[in-house]
């Protein structure tokens, strides 16, 4: 996706350059291929006059096909009727806990940073600050960061960081024929990305009151690119699959049934969304919505991504950088900063702050093949365990698990699942 496809406001935010405005529905990928992704729109159809003479056979063929197409379109347009489902409850008990993990989300109220900066003869492309949506947005912001990187004309790049943002960016640069060295303090399985739940939920990248129209446009493009990229990684090898996603609430949906905030732009990315009647679900909640989303298994996915970048020839150097001068001393003419919270001391980003998350993982239950979100809690079933979460503690730098949070999450889930019909 060339940068000229973004609006003038967005281009100024990314590069400060002034270019013509267009908004194509596709982006550039490696080897000259095109990556298509969906954008809901109304398409006007131009009426074409018929010829003066139409024979009977042509008329019959046209009429019958039109009727058949119309009936198919009518059936396709009709929303799916949710069937009553019986779902196995999660067995929530302390003797089923296998681990508790803590991760610090690199959050910025105004959203992630995606821009190029000149530092003397070296260019640094920033790609950090994704909050709790790093996994979801990884391919999209990596795609846009790679576009910025290629504009430098460099053929060798240093990628700083080996979480999901760094690995995705490195992989896309490789696919575009560039030479990559990854510098990182931590490698999988010791990255923050390994501590995520994780599913396709990109709306946690910014706070509503701080979200600008320019950021919204970049976020929207990155979200759709990422959603399409992830579909190329579906399957057990990468730990990506579609799962039914149930969200519950004590309050009715708004009368128009419309999403608010960033979510309103991507409702089409969640297939078969439906509001369920009480008879159509087993959950102890008055209002339940079902849709489908992609679930990621970080241990599987990140290991596979590490394998891919290694096989494609990336060099990986374990190293921590004390300051910006140490970064600028690297040999590569262009660097991509994917350091997450590390960007705060390296680049003086005072807006960047941690939001502590904590997960309690139970023994696997293969029969549980769905996820649930609501009431400040969430449950996600993976092959490596049942993941229980819901912790959001701003400005907490501690990596120590909180017993209070564990008790809250465990008791909340135990109460919920014990009341399932």
pLDDT grade for 252, boundaries at 50, 70 and 90: confident
Q: Which residue has the higher pLDDT, 251 or 126?
A: 126
Given a cut of 60, whether residue 1 has pLDDT beyond it is no
In angstroms, the CA 290 to CA 370 distance is 10
pLDDT tens, residue by residue, 308-362? 999 999 999 999 999 999 999 999 999 999 999 999 999 999 999 999 999 999 9
pLDDT grade for 258, boundaries at 50, 70 and 90: low
CATH topology of domain 94-103+242-293+355-418: D-Amino Acid Oxidase; Chain A, domain 2 (3.30.9)
pTM assigned to the model: 0.83
Given a cut of 70, whether residue 35 has pLDDT beyond it is no
Q: What percent of the chain has pLDDT over 70?
A: 79
Q: Which residue has the higher pLDDT, 28 or 420?
A: 420
Task: Give the best-scoring range by mean pLDDT among 38-52, 140-154, 244-258.
Answer: 140-154
Would you state the pLDDT for residue 75?
46
pLDDT grade for 376, boundaries at 50, 70 and 90: very high
Question: Each residue of 314-325: b (16+ CB within 10 Å) or e?
Answer: bebeeeebeeee
Would you state the pLDDT for residue 20?
33
98-102: average pLDDT: 98
pLDDT grade for 116, boundaries at 50, 70 and 90: very high
CATH topology of domain 105-232+298-352: Rossmann fold (3.40.50)
Given a cut of 80, whether residue 385 has pLDDT beyond it is yes
In angstroms, the CA 104 to CA 131 distance is 9
Would you list the domain boundaries of the chain? 94-103+242-293+355-418, 105-232+298-352
Would you state the pLDDT for residue 6?
55
pLDDT grade for 154, boundaries at 50, 70 and 90: very high
Given a cut of 60, whether residue 115 has pLDDT beyond it is yes
């Amino acid at each position: 996706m060339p940068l000229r496809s973004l609006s003038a406001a967005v281009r100024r935010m990314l590069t400060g350059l002034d270019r013509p405005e267009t908004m194509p529905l596709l982006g550039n990928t490696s080897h000259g291929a095109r990556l298509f992704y969906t954008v809901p729109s109304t398409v006007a159809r131009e009426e074409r006059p018929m010829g003066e003479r139409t024979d009977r056979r042509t008329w019959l063929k046209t009429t019958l096909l039109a009727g058949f197409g119309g009936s198919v379109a009518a059936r396709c347009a009709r929303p799916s009727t949710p069937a009553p489902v019986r779902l196995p409850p999660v067995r929530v008990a302390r003797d089923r806990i296998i681990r508790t993990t803590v991760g610090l989300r690199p959050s910025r109220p105004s959203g992630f940073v995606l821009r190029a900066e000149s530092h003397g003869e070296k260019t640094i492309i920033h790609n950090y600050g994704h909050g709790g949506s790093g996994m979801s947005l990884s391919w999209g912001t990596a795609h846009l960061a790679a576009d910025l990187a290629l504009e430098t004309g460099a053929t060798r790049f240093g990628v700083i960081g080996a979480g999901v943002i760094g690995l995705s960016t490195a992989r896309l640069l490789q696919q575009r024929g560039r030479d990559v060295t990854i510098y990182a303090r931590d490698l999988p399985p010791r990255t923050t990305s390994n501590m995520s739940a994780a599913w396709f939920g990109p709306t946690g990248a910014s706070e509503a009151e701080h979200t600008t129209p320019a950021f919204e446009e970049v976020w929207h493009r990155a979200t759709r690119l990422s959603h399409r990229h992830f579909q190329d990684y579906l399957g057990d090898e990468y730990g990506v699959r579609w799962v039914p996603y149930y969200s519950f609430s004590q309050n009715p949906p708004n009368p128009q049934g419309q999403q608010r905030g960033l979510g309103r732009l991507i409702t089409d990315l969640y297939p078969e969304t439906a509001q369920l009647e009480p008879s159509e679900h087993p959950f102890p909640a008055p209002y339940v919505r079902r849709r489908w989303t992609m679930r990621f298994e970080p241990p599987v996915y990140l290991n596979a991504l590490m394998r891919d970048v290694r096989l494609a020839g990336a060099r990986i150097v374990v190293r921590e950088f004390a300051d910006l001068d140490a970064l600028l001393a690297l040999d590569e003419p262009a660097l991509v900063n994917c350091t997450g919270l590390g960007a705060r001391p390296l680049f003086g980003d005072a807006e960047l702050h941690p939001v502590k998350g904590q997960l309690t993982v139970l023994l696997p239950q293969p029969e549980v093949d769905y996820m649930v979100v609501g009431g400040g809690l969430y449950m996600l079933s993976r092959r490596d365990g049942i993941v229980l979460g819901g912790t959001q503690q701003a400005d907490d730098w501690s990596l120590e698990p909180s017993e209070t949070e564990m008790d809250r999450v465990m008791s909340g889930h135990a109460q919920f699942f014990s009341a399932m019909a």
